[in-house]
Amino acid sequence: MLHRILSNDMPRSRWLAGILLILVLALVFTPFIFPGVKALNTAAKIVIFIVLVSSFDLLLGYTGIVSFAHTMFFGIGAYGIAIASTISGPHWSSLALGLVAALVLSFFLALLIGLFSLRVRAIFFAMITLAVASAFQTLAAQLHDITGGEDGLNFSVPALLSPATEFLDTPFLGVTLDGRLLCFYALLLIGALLFLLMLRIVNSPFGAVLQAIRENEFRAEALGYRVVVFRTASSVLSALFACVAGAMLAVWLRYNGPATSLSFEVMMDVLLIVVMGGLGTLYGAIVGACVFLVAQSYLQDVLRLASEAVSGWPLLSALLSPDRWLLWLGVLFVLSVYYFPAGVVGRLRRSSS
Amino acid sequence: MRALSQKFDWKPLALVPVLALLVLPFTGSVSTWITLTVAGLAMGMIIFVIASGLTLVFGLMDVLNFGHGVFITLGAFVATTVLGAMPLWSGSTEWFYNLCAIGLTMLVAMLVAGAVGAVFERLIVRPVYGQHLKQILITMGGMIIGEELIKVLWGPQQIALALPQGLHGSYLWGDAAIEKFRLLAVVVGVLVFVVLVWVLNRTKIGLLIRAGVQDREMVEALGYRIRRLFIGVFVAGSALAGLGGVLWGLYQQNVTTQLGAEVNVLVFIVIIMGGLGSTSGALLGALLVGLMANYTGYIAPMAALFSNIALMVAVLLWRPQGIYPVVYR
């Protein structure tokens, strides 16, 4: 049964299985274990990022393509929900409409970029996606009437999902059962289904071809697989998953702007999580997203303390200032690419085998 | 070289005048067109200086350096410090002192960017030679670290970078205005182009570099230290990015930490259009990008975002390897 659900891709390490079990249980019971709004927000963000990072891993880890346009599709999903909800009000139909429109746009955009640039030369793909993504980001900021520009869009979600809806008058196990909680569990369920679907994809014959292309493009082509077709399919699939992840983010935040979904920092977070967690293992996305997002919430606090501790040395203090947290993320990133190329999951699997 | 010049491919050279003439009917008047064209060519020249650095590093050494933008930003920030330290020379109305100030600024920026490039090569790039995927990831990380360090040293806010007095204003030629600074940019760009082509095609070092790109082991077997040569190429590429950063900063007249990342996107488009490792291709690509940016910025500002991408698509449909590919990979 478990084998079927996980598509026969077991964690293959006792430690990894234990860690995954703890993390998943912690996510499921977050509202009951860690009280407070901040913890619930972090948990929801982790769920969304697990989907986003797994979809990126499908592209980078399994197919060996570097794309910097991943946050563009994430942003399209988020803007789809935000724009549809702003225009036609907080109804289920506008959520559905926004999501479908965003999926269609992502599909054609990914197909266009993929067919064009993957055909020319695979290493150009990274550059071309970077160019397209930066143009798209500027476009989103400039179309002020539709996207709200740099300020973004605040909107309402259907009443069932809003915090004002309470299902029980008395708290259950100390937790108020409101629409926010329902929204969290809905996201968790969708996230879990998407994750299992991706696990199914990478362990299918299709996924095997993708990995063959990653290992040896020439040989895969010689065996009769059209590399361009498979690469494009992989990039379209990952764009669609990223788009759904963006929609989930918008529903949860009830807000979307360029900084939350399109910005380069989000792309950097995704890269860092996927590399830390382990390329080519979807489980890495779970471990990476949990560790990274929890650390991110506290890294700035740690830096603030450190910066105050060394306030006597101006340069050192400036280096440790909480505004410079991206610097330390960058250092962490470079170090993890060097010394941790297989990521947490790869390391755990190797030590157990 | 003689064989090359005999079958020199002239067709792509027509791209620039064709593009310029195609837009002529849309600009309204001839004088506007001349102003836009000269401005576009000057902008193209600045982009070329930056792109020439990356074409060395990426085209010849096969290092996919996403961190190239850091050296552009660094050059621009060094320029604010150096020019700011010479108020007498840059504030003077004498041409000579202005040019000295700018020349000195460029020299310092190139030295600093080159030195940082050497460190970057050692720490970031060296362990990942030959691994594209890791190069992209690592140099991206290096770019973020570099940008943040620049913020630590110069502060995160945008800094104004004023042109020296004598370079303000423009020459009037009929109704068309040609800014003085843009002429300077064109001169610097042409100089860089000539020097690069000369070094790569007519000197022993250039011969060794080209040979090393084609067959590294053979050159090493003949007793040349290709490692040292390639470090030199990386340093030169970084220094050119620094020089380009000075020009770009003066062109924009203010300097932000995102500057390098923004220009880098244009530079990637230029490199892809021009063909790997080709200096002439980079020049043509840069001129096309510069012209396109100025024309669409004037005629249809919203289209300017995607016009360069459309241009690249068009060029690649015509020549999938770029305009003048030197290296086939």
- Tell me: the pLDDT tens digits for A213-237? 988 888 999 999 998 899 999 999 9
Which residues in B lie closer than 8 A to residue A131 (C-beta atoms)? 265, 268-269, 308-309, 312
- Tell me the mean pLDDT in the region B69-86: 90
State the pLDDT at residue B302: 75
Q: Do A330 and B138 touch (CB under 8 A)?
A: no
Tell me B179's DSSP state. E
pLDDT at site A277: 87
- Identify any residues that bridge with B159 across adjacent strands, giving them in sequence order: B255
Tokens coding A7: 């598509």
Q: What is the predicted pLDDT for the residue at A121?
A: 64
pLDDT at site A353: 62
Mutation to test the B interface, candidates A337, A339, A340, most B Cβ within 10 Å? A337
Give the model's pLDDT for residue B179: 80
The segment with the largest mean pLDDT, out of A285-289, B2-6, B161-165, is A285-289
Give the model's pLDDT for residue A119: 67
| Amino acid symbol at A88 | S
pLDDT digits (tens, 9 = 90+) for B166-203: 777 777 777 777 788 888 888 999 999 999 989 988 89
CA distance A57 to chain B (A): 13
Candidates A214, A334, A335, partner chain B, best to mutate (most B CBs within 10 A): A334
Lowest mean pLDDT among A86-95, B43-52, B281-290: A86-95
Is the pLDDT reported for residue B125 higher than 90? no
> Which positions in chain B touch A142 (Cβ < 8 Å)?
302, 305
pLDDT digits (tens, 9 = 90+) for A153-169: 888 888 777 777 777 77
Task: Please say if the pLDDT value at position B6 is more than 60.
Answer: no
**What percent of chain A shows pLDDT beyond 90?**
33
Contact of B324 with B281, CB cutoff 8 Å: yes
Is the pLDDT assigned to residue B5 strictly greater than 50? Answer: no
Higher-pLDDT residue of B136 and A117 is: B136
How does the average pLDDT of chain B come out, rounded? Answer: 85
Q: Residue B274, CB half-sphere, CA atoms under 13 Å: how many?
A: 31
Of B137, B141, B272, the CB nearest to A127: B272
Q: Which of A64-78, A319-333, B128-142 has the lowest mean pLDDT?
A: A319-333
* Residue B329 banded pLDDT, cuts 50, 70, 90: low
Confidence (pLDDT) at A120? 64
pLDDT of residue A81: 92
Q: For A270, which residue in chain B has the nearest alpha carbon?
A: B137
Chain A neighbors of B329, CB-CB under 8 A: 121, 123
**Sequence-ordered list of residues with C-beta below 8 angstroms from that of A98, at least 6 positions apart, any chain:** A80, A81, A82, A83, A84, A85, A247
Taking an 8 Å cut-off on Cβ atoms, the answer to whether A127 and B316 are in contact is no
Tokens at B276, concatenated:
């790997």
Nearest by CB: B305 against A138, A333, A341: A138
Helix, strand, coil shares of chain A as percentages rounded to 5? Answer: 80, 0, 20
Q: What is the pLDDT of residue B1?
A: 40
Chain A residues near residue B319 by CB distance under 8 angstroms: none
**pLDDT over 50 at A118, yes or no:** yes
Distance from the Cα of B145 to chain A's closest Cα (Å) equals 5
Assigned architecture for domain A12-352: Orthogonal Bundle (1.10)
Q: Report the pLDDT value the prediction gives residue B76, as an integer from 0 to 100.
A: 93
Q: Report which secondary-structure segment, H or E, holds B176.
A: strand B176-179
Is residue A213 within 8 A of residue A63, CB to CB? The reply is: yes
DSSP of A163-230:
TT-BS-SSPBTTB--BHHHHHHHHHHHHHHHHHHHHHHHHTSHHHHHHHHHHH-HHHHHHTT--HHHH
For residues A168-184, give the mean pLDDT.
Answer: 78
Backbone angles phi, psi at B258, to 5 degrees: -85, -10
Q: In whole angstroms, what is the distance from residue B312 CA to residue B307 CA?
A: 9
ipTM of the complex: 0.80
Q: Which residue has the higher pLDDT, B140 or A50?
A: A50
- In this prediction, residues B37-49 reach a mean pLDDT of 90
- The Cα–Cα gap between B202 and B222 comes to 20
Greater confidence (A167 vs B20) lies with: B20
Average pLDDT over residues A203-220: 91
| Least confident window among A54-58, A181-185, A309-313, B138-142 | A309-313
- Average pLDDT on B133-162 reads 87
Interface of A with B (CB under 8 A): 60, 64, 66, 116, 119-121, 123-124, 126-128, 130-132, 134-135, 138-139, 142, 264, 268, 271, 275, 315, 318-319, 323-324, 326-327, 329-331, 333-334, 337-338, 341
Q: What is the pLDDT of residue B2?
A: 41
B210: left (phi over 0), alpha (psi -120 to 50) or beta: alpha
Separation CA B90–CA B207 (nearest Å): 40
What mean pLDDT comes out for the span A63-80?
A: 91
Mean of pLDDT values over B265-282: 86
Which stretch of A127-131, A321-325, B60-64, B136-140 has the lowest confidence by average pLDDT?
A321-325
Interface test with A, best of B61, B138, B145, B149 (most A CBs within 10 A): B145
Please report residues of A whose CB lies closer than 8 A to that of B141: 330-331, 333-334, 337
Which residues of chain A lie closer than 8 angstroms to B312, CB-CB? 128, 131
Domain boundaries, chain B: 12-315
Tell whether the model's pLDDT for residue B3 goes beyond 60: no
Domain with residues B12-315, CATH architecture: Orthogonal Bundle (1.10)
Q: Give me the residue spans of the domains in chain A.
A: 12-352
